[in-house]
Amino acid sequence: MLAYVKSDARGALDALLSGVASQLSASGVAVCGAVQINEQRSGGVKSHMDLHLYPTGEHVRISQDLGSQATGCRLDPDGLEHAVARVEALLAEGADILIVNKFGKQEASGHGFRSIIGEAIAAGIPVLCGIGGDALAAFEDFASGLADPVPANAAAVLEWAQSATHK
């Protein structure tokens, strides 16, 4: 099973997926994956982007500081790949569901969490992905019609996850 949640509201998916992952974990569902958290900084400096890894609670920095005037992508590909490798190892230990904060540009180009999503599906582990920005077309191409859209609200996402995990 594969589902996705889409939102263009800044930070909305992060908060939604974090809350859902926490609720699922608290109810006994073995959650594996990564949800983005942003560390706010003062003085107009852009926030740090970290991934909170489930189930360990580790944080991996995935942003790089390009200076206050930078306008380009701040993603640190090495940081992301480190997080991906760590989630892959955690998934191998077993999980009821994989939650991936975002299917984005890296996944669209064949990197990031793309292969882990496929591995989980092949192993029969349900996958929930956040979709941000303009990555929906790439995700739909990747999913080949097998992904279910879920409304971007906690009740709907929890209902899908509980149904998918039978918990």
> How many other CB atoms sit within 10 Å of the CB of residue 131?
25
Is 15 in a helix, a strand, or coil? helix
Amino acid at 133: G
Amino acid at 24: L
Per-residue pLDDT at 40: 60
Q: How many residues does the chain have?
A: 167
Amino acid at 15: A
pTM (2 d.p.): 0.90
Distance, CA of 23 to CA of 31 (rounded, Å): 10
Sketch out the chain's domains with CATH numbers. 2-66+73-165 (3.40.50.300)
Per-residue pLDDT at 48: 75
Per-residue pLDDT at 99: 98
Distance, CA of 67 to CA of 46 (rounded, Å): 9
Dump pLDDT digits (tens) for 83-103. Answer: 999 999 999 999 999 999 999
> In this prediction, what percent of the chain has a pLDDT beyond 90?
71
Q: Which residues of the chain have pLDDT under 50?
A: none
